[in-house]
A and B are shown apart, each in its own frame.
Chain A
């Protein structure tokens, strides 16, 4: 274990922490923006609660455009925007902006799919009882879709872990970046292996937690 010097330990810990920050912050932001977007898409879709093509089509188009842009290009392309929001275009904080943006678009679609999975009959029953549209969304749609929403979030978090490795390109740091810099560029395979194992454990843990939560919340 000669490679695991105190300096390296510190680097690993720091990278781990950076990954958590990047993934955690962008998850929170993308859920906070992605869910309203998904609800907007769901509600304004043809045959939805308030069909409206003038909202549905442009929003859908924007979401698709963001989803089809490769992350590494997105990251560079939105640097001016990142500077505006984060005050800087490099570092961990700056990396959160493109990560959150990519994940928001990704989640908006996954969330929309989860909402579509809700049995239309339950919504119809609520309409027949005289529920308002807001009540239908808050008391039927979101609660019934909750397990699906959580499953979607789990998928997004795992994808964010792998996207965050690319954040090294703008100095975002994190485990992936550490693996590239030491494992690949300085030829320290032990560092590479450690990083990969840590990432695998992290992903496994998150996935298991997500699955457990979904099981707990659904009563099917």
Chain B
């Protein structure tokens, strides 16, 4: 049975074929220069000798929310820290908002950093400064006079809903409120780019929602570009436009969130995606499926319903026209960035040639058909 399940549907062609790095089509080929361009970034930590970044290239367009997901140790933090050079890559290029970061001298780098806000997992607030004083800190660093600092703080407090807590100290705030201060501080000097390293990982699900909504709202209001790191696919699904998946220091897949979620090409991505959209099929379900009859084959596949033909009665039509029986193993309908889609796990029964023909026909309609491998099931 393992051999049957792992058997590719067609030898050549897109089905069952897994390229080493899947590059989904860009959403809208933008003419404006990228907010961030990273090219060939490589970084090996001296202590431990881990290759934290292995030839990473990606670009973030102005105004988008770009997510980076990956498991612990994948190199996400190292990557985001290379954007403002908190960490220096061993090789590669870093262009941020028009600056060639690696070519800047100390003063130039500090000036460039002032145009990049950063939000941290553990907030990193000054315990002995009030909320208002924390938010004013980057302005103080930049040498703004006290009156201007006060004016700017008064302007930004309402944006994050903390007018009432201006005089509180961080220890008196909840985690969500602390992160609001962190965000306000990051935005105080009017940066055009916001870097978030696990900004919601220390928060409960409800507060996470709140903070994500705030980031989404601020992006629109302040015309921000956001690069955010997370290990939760739910975060990517909630606010990202595009996503890159990292594993062992490499970007293994990137593209529009909708494409990556609906057609993940890498096993790692598939596992991540199944966390939130239920690509997975329960173990026992497959074991309990009926065996194919004599002369018949059984083929398990995920079918993704997205695009113009997603509302057609595809399954009954295929069943009728190709003489194939379908057993629906699991299914659900969801929405990403406002685009609806359905994912269904099917078991097709029939003569091998007919099953192949039926599934190919579905694929020709623009539905993505992916064989269910044993490990992914």
A interface residues, Cβ below 8 angstroms from B:
119, 121-122, 124-132, 135, 139-140, 143-144, 146-147, 217-220
B interface residues, Cβ below 8 angstroms from A:
84, 86, 109-114, 116, 118, 120, 122-129, 137-138, 140-142, 169-172, 185, 189, 195
- Other A-B contacts than A122-B125, A130-B110, 16 sampled, CB-CB below 8 A, are A119-B122, A121-B124, A122-B127, A124-B120, A124-B124, A125-B125, A126-B137, A129-B138, A130-B113, A132-B110, A139-B137, A143-B129, A147-B128, A218-B127, A218-B128, A219-B169
Known: A128-B116, A129-B114, A132-B110. A143 touches B86 (CB 8 A): no
B201 to chain A, nearest CB (A): 14
Q: Which of A129, A140, A217, A220 contacts B113 (CB 8 A)?
A: A129
Report chain B residues within 8 Å CB of A130.
Answer: 109-114, 138, 141-142
In the assembled complex, the Cα of A139 lies from the Cα of B118 at a distance in Å of: 19
B7 to chain A, nearest CB (A): 51
In the assembled complex, the Cα of A135 lies from the Cα of B195 at a distance in Å of: 22
Q: Which of A122, A139, A146, A220 contacts B124 (CB 8 A)?
A: A122
A216 to chain B, nearest CB (A): 11
Known: A217-B128, A219-B169, A220-B127. A131 touches B86 (CB 8 A): no
In the assembled complex, the Cα of A130 lies from the Cα of B101 at a distance in Å of: 13
Report chain A residues within 8 Å CB of B172.
Answer: 219
In the assembled complex, the Cα of A132 lies from the Cα of B189 at a distance in Å of: 16
Report chain B residues within 8 Å CB of A132.
Answer: 110
B113–A139 CB distance below 8 A: no
In the assembled complex, the Cα of A119 lies from the Cα of B123 at a distance in Å of: 11
Q: Which of A124, A127, A140 contacts B126 (CB 8 A)?
A: A140
Least CB separation from A147: chain B residue: B128
A139–B120 CB distance below 8 A: no
Report chain B residues within 8 Å CB of A122.
Answer: 124-127
Q: Which of B120, B127, B189 contacts A219 (CB 8 A)?
A: B127
Report chain A residues within 8 Å CB of B123.
Answer: 121
In the assembled complex, the Cα of A217 lies from the Cα of B123 at a distance in Å of: 21
What are 19 A-B pairs with beta-carbon distances under 8 A? Answer: A122-B126, A125-B120, A125-B124, A125-B125, A126-B141, A128-B84, A128-B116, A130-B138, A130-B141, A132-B110, A143-B126, A143-B129, A144-B128, A146-B128, A147-B128, A219-B127, A219-B169, A220-B127, A220-B171
In the assembled complex, the Cα of A217 lies from the Cα of B127 at a distance in Å of: 10
10 closest residue pairs by CB, A with B: A130-B113, A121-B124, A219-B169, A130-B110, A125-B124, A130-B114, A128-B118, A129-B138, A131-B141, A122-B124
Least CB separation from B188: chain A residue: A129
By CB atoms of chain A within 10 A, which of B114, B126, B138, B195 has the most?
B126
Report chain B residues within 8 Å CB of A220.
Answer: 127, 171
A135–B141 CB distance below 8 A: yes
In the assembled complex, the Cα of A176 lies from the Cα of B35 at a distance in Å of: 70
Q: Which of A129, A147, A217, A218 contacts B137 (CB 8 A)?
A: A129
In the assembled complex, the Cα of A36 lies from the Cα of B304 at a distance in Å of: 66
Least CB separation from B121: chain A residue: A121
Report chain B residues within 8 Å CB of A121.
Answer: 120, 122-124
In the assembled complex, the Cα of A131 lies from the Cα of B84 at a distance in Å of: 13
B81 to chain A, nearest CB (A): 9
Known: A124-B86, A129-B137, A219-B171. A144 touches B126 (CB 8 A): yes
In the assembled complex, the Cα of A162 lies from the Cα of B126 at a distance in Å of: 36
Known: A139-B141, A220-B171. A128 touches B113 (CB 8 A): yes
A131–B128 CB distance below 8 A: no
A127–B125 CB distance below 8 A: no
B36 to chain A, nearest CB (A): 15
By CB atoms of chain B within 10 A, which of A122, A124, A128, A132 has the most?
A128
B111 to chain A, nearest CB (A): 7
B156 to chain A, nearest CB (A): 15
Least CB separation from A145: chain B residue: B128
Report chain B residues within 8 Å CB of A143.
Answer: 126, 128-129
By CB atoms of chain B within 10 A, which of A125, A132, A135 has the most?
A125
Q: Which of A125, A131, A147, A217 contacts B118 (CB 8 A)?
A: A125
A99 to chain B, nearest CB (A): 31
A219–B170 CB distance below 8 A: yes
Report chain A residues within 8 Å CB of B124.
Answer: 119, 121-122, 124-125
In the assembled complex, the Cα of A99 lies from the Cα of B84 at a distance in Å of: 47
